[in-house]
Structures are given as C-alpha cells and as structure tokens.
Amino acid sequence: MILTVTLNTALDLTYRVPALVPHAAHHVEEVTERPGGKGVNVARVLAALGHSTVVTGFAGGRTGEVLRELLAPLAPVDALVPVAGTTRRTIAVVDAATGDTTQLNEPGPHITAEDWEAFLAAYEPLLRGADAVALCGSLPPGVPVGAYADLIRRARAAAVPVLLDTSGEPLRRGLAARPDLIKPNLDELARLTGSREPLRAARDARRRGARTVVASLGPEGLLAVTPEGVWQAVPPAPVRGNPTGAGDSAVAALLSSLVEGLPWPARLTRAVALSTATVLAPAAGEFDPAAYEELLPGVRVSEHPA
C-alpha cells in the first residue's frame, strides 16, 4: 500500500471558457468537480496505475463532504480526519483559445491542536501498512510549520520511504529530517537554495538533507540528482493544455517506480510521460492513458557526468 498525506485537501473546480478576458463577464462552457489537493491527485493516479493507495489528511464542512462523496466511488481508500473548519476550493480557469490556465487557491480551514493530535493518532497506524508515503502540498492554517519534518521522522522510524513535495519553510524544515526524495519545481528549488542553476541547486538541496532530488524543469522535463547518478528526462515534444496536477502525476510515477524497484532512467521515463499526459487531460488530477502509452517510447533520458 502507498500512503499519501494531504493536510490541505481541496475540492478542485475546473472552468473552461472560450477566452479569458480581464474585467469581462464569461460564459463557462464546461465545469468539472474533482476531489483534490496534491496528495489526493497523487493517490488517484497511483490507483489508475494499479497500486493500492490510502489517502489521509483533513476534510471538513460542506466542501469536505462533497470531496469525500466524490472520492468514495474511486479506488483510493479514504482515511481523512474530520475537522470543524471547511475544506478549501481551488479553481482552475482554462482559456480554450490559448490553452493557458489561471489558478485560484483558497487557504484552507484552521486546524486546531486537537485536530493535529487526532491526525497523528491516525497517521502512525497507517504507516505500519505502507510501502511508501508521500507528504504533499501546503499546510493549512494552524498546522505547525515543522509538521512535515515530524511526519518524516515518524516514517523513517517505521522504515517507510518518504517523498516530500512542498515548498517554502515547510520544505526547508522538512529537509532537516532527511526525506528519501523531494520533488521541487525550479522556483521552489531557487527559493530553497538561492541558485537558479538546476544542477547546482539540486546538489545543494541534497547537501541540506534530501537523499534524492527530482526537479521539475517545466517543458524541459525532470532532473534527478541521486546517490546512483544524475539524469535528465525530456518529453518527446512540447504540449499545450491544463498543467494542473502534472507535478502530482510525476510524484505518482516516482512512487510507483520506487515500490516496483525500477532503475532511475525507467522511473524518470514514466514520470515525464505521465505528467505530460496529464497536461493533455481536460481535468486536474487525471491523465490520458492513450497519450501516456504513446509518449513513453519518445521520452529521452540522458545521464550527466558525475
């Protein structure tokens, strides 16, 4: 089983409009509603890949109820912890004319000390049945900024490999707990290390505590700095579409490859093909299976000199 943690779950709304024009009223052509938050997206993709997954984190209010109702018929197991506050919404507005997406993210509910203790009481038993755990996304108000560091230490004590996908101070604090893998994008990596040169920044992040760093390079694919070597994987060609959830699909690919014991070039090939196929899908947290199969053989992986 793979466990995904989403402390700041969300109800993902995607609006598709003919063209997004500032200061104008818009006719929405299509609306999709999905259970979301980074770890929930990761779990849904893992389930589509055939892996047993469990989702935990917080859910509350009417939005949280809708999220759980939408999650119920899907494959991931719901182990979300109820709270009194209301789960946030995220709104993606897709401009059909350009293919660009505008994202609006609410902050999330306030988490009390009692809520946090209830989560920790649920987290520990879930770890005992996990082959890997992913800690994903932002922290809702009230959660300690060092929360991910605490969760990483608990996972390491249980001998469970842990992937951390967050940013800012939670990422900085989390590195000190020595996660097995982090997956920042270039901006997150630059804010962490002060360098915008990907290879230098990724190596710096490893020195700060991450065993492996897989950096998202946008259209240039993924850069992996690992104890076994350094690789870059590039998609066959640039694509346009909705990038929401593409990074989450890359995390799902990395986790599935980890538990399957694949070598790094194969892990990166899967991650790039899956994230690219997600850009081509109409809604967040989904991927186009046919596009994924077509993309796999075209992903180019090159090894950097040590």
Distance separating alpha carbons of residues 6 and 64, to the nearest angstrom: 13
Closest CA to 150 of 187, 181, 176, 189: 176
Cα–Cα distance between 47 and 232 in angstroms, integer?
A: 26
CA separation for the pair 225, 214 (Å, rounded): 6
Nearest to 53 by CA among 5, 109, 13: 5
Cβ atoms of 136 and 6 closer than 8 Å: yes
Measured CA to CA, the distance from residue 242 to residue 227 in angstroms comes to: 33
- Judge residue 296's burial from the number of C-beta atoms within 10 Å of its C-beta, 0-12 exposed, 13-18 middle, 19 or more buried: middle
Q: Is 248 a catalytic residue?
A: yes
CB 191 within 8 Å of CB 279: no
Look up residue 126 and give its two tokens.
Answer: 């879930």
First to last CA, the chain: 34
Number of H helices, E strands in the chain: 10, 15
> Could you say which of 115, 165, 180, 248 is catalytic?
248
- Catalytic positions are 248
